[in-house]
Structure formats: C-alpha cells, structure tokens
Amino acid sequence: MRIPQGARVRRGLIAVALAAFALAGCGRGGTDAAPGAPRRVVCASPAVAEIVFALNCGDRVAGVSEFTDWPPEAAAKPTIGGALSPNRERIVALEPDLILAQGKSEALGAFARAQGIGFRSFPLDTLADLRAAIAGFAQALGVADEGQRLLARLDAEFAALPAGEPVPAFIALGHAPGDLSGLMTSGPGTFLSEIVALAGGRNVFGDVDALWPKISQETLVRRQPAVILDFQTGPADETRRSALVADWERLGFRAEQIRILGEDYLLKPGPRAAQSAARIAAAIRGK
C-alpha cells in the first residue's frame, strides 16, 4: 500500500509497519542456506522482516528496523533504528552480507554498495508488488522454492474466500471519535482497496482519481455504502467503539452498518494478506 505523505494515518501505518504471516516453525529451525547464499541479513522495514520469517529464514536475520513486531522472534532481533532513517553504524556493526528493503530506499542502497553489502529492495504498494517481493526476496536468499510455496499458500487462502455479490463499502481511515471532518479513504490501485474487493466489498470510491482522497460527509452520504469499514490503528474498547458508531449514526447510518476493525495486521500488506481479507469478508457479512 502506498503510504501517502503528511497524513496522520500514513504516519501510523509506517510506525506499526507492515505485518507478516508466521508459517509453522518460522525462525525456529530455519531453511538451509545454499552455498554462497547470504547468511547475515538486515531487514530494513517490518514488512521485509515478516516476509523473511515467512520464508523460514528468520535464523539468518541479524537485525531489523524499529516497530518490527511480528512474528515475536523478529521483534527480539537487534534493531537498526527507524525504517526511514536506519542507523548506519548499527548496520555495519551487525556485519550483514545482505540488506533487504522496501520501496526505493535509494540512500540505503547507495550506502550498502559503498560498504560492499548486497542490497535488494521491492515496493509493497499492491498485491502484485507483494507477490514480486516474496519471489524476489526468496531468490536473493537462495530459497526460491520457499517463495513459491508461500505464494501457493496465499493463492489457496484467497481462493477459499466466500463468493457473492459485492457489497458497497466505504473504507474509513483516520476517524477519531467525535471527528468526521478529516475522513480519508483508500482509492483504486491501493493494497487496501484490493483486499476489500477480494473480501467481497465494492469500494464506493473505487472510481476516484486519487490513491488516498479526503472525503466530505456529504459526498459519502450520496455514495450510499451498505457498510462502513472503520479501520482503526489498534483495538477499541467499548467506550471508544460506541463513540465511533455514534459519529456514523449522526450521518444517518445505522449501527448495524458499522464495522469497527482494530486488528493491526489489516492495514499492513504482507504475507498475512489473505488473513486480512478473510477478517474483512467476515466483517462485511456481519460476522
């Protein structure tokens, strides 16, 4: 998912980073490295670390960026600082033979080359990007077969999602209790909009010419979504949930149309994408 600059929700997504899917045994036994394959890897974003662990290469991870929290084994690794401005001295001290990153990461790539450290980076803005990153990181780690197995598992999980007529849905981002003035949504071509579509939703702003448009209350009401998918950046207690629902009710929506979604992995492109789609599918259908 492209993280739009300068908005609160975008900073939150960077901070909590992009979750991954923990395969059985991930990071405990590890996958044998092929001759010449990198053995000390630095993962320069939480998303990257989670992919590497999902490829069963967690035993090779020498360091991770801040806010890496999944799987727990990844969170226990030494940190190199923030994903946007990693500490280069810490990286050098870890003596990696490969740095894996997300997005352009031009400065980090130049640093790696100057230090004689291998470097690979992939965007993680769409589902196609995620697939390419899994395959590319697997290739760089010398575990191409693990990458294909992970992709096959994702495909099977996506195929198992319930089918049905798409439900018109509004993807709400950045909604704090008592404030509907700064609503942001996910436009076409974003990871989140793609996941909602796979989950059986039809993004009511899927026709706009923007990735992360701000939405007025009047425009939202005219679009007549059947459900409101209110994505929060963390769990909401009953008091907060009640306040969030009350805001939507003041716009004329019924409580049974509102879905408060606080699971952190839902906003994070990574190997748990199919799990996110399944959770959103259940929410759309009121489960």
**Same domain for 181 and 47:** no
Among 159, 193, 226, the domain boundary falls at 159
Q: pTM for the full model?
A: 0.83
Q: Is residue 36 part of a domain?
A: yes
Q: Which residues of 98-124 are buried (b: 16+ CB within 10 A; e: fewer)?
A: bbbbbbebeebbebbeeeebebbbbbb
Check the CA dihedral 190-193-195-198 and report its sign.
Answer: negative
> Which residues lie across from 210 on neighbouring strands?
none
> 135 and 224 share a domain?
no
Contact 27, 58 (CB under 8 A): yes
Q: pLDDT per position in the chain (287 positions), as tens? A: 443 433 333 333 323 333 332 222 233 334 555 557 899 999 999 999 999 999 999 999 999 999 999 999 999 999 999 988 999 999 999 999 999 999 999 999 999 999 999 999 999 999 999 999 999 999 999 999 999 999 999 999 999 999 999 999 999 999 999 999 889 999 999 999 999 999 999 999 999 999 999 999 999 999 999 999 999 988 889 999 999 999 999 999 999 999 999 998 898 889 999 999 999 999 999 87
For residues 83 and 25, membership in a common domain is answered with yes
Q: Could you tell me if 33 and 59 lie in one domain? A: yes
Domain holding 84, by residue range, is: 8-159
The answer to the question of residue 17 being in a domain is yes
User: Is residue 232 situated within a structural domain?
Assistant: yes
Same domain for 67 and 202, yes or no, is no
pLDDT at 155: 96
Tell me, yes or no, whether 123 and 171 share the same domain. no
CATH number at 154 reads 3.40.50.1980
pLDDT of residue 34: 58
The residue among 159, 185, 206 that closes a domain is 159
Q: Which of 79, 129, 128 is nearest to 104 (CA)?
A: 129
Given this model, what pLDDT does residue 35 score? 56
What pLDDT sits at residue 5? Answer: 37
Q: Are residues 116 and 182 in the same domain?
A: no
Residues whose CB is less than 8 angstroms from the CB of residue 128 and which lie 6 or more positions away in sequence, other chains included: none
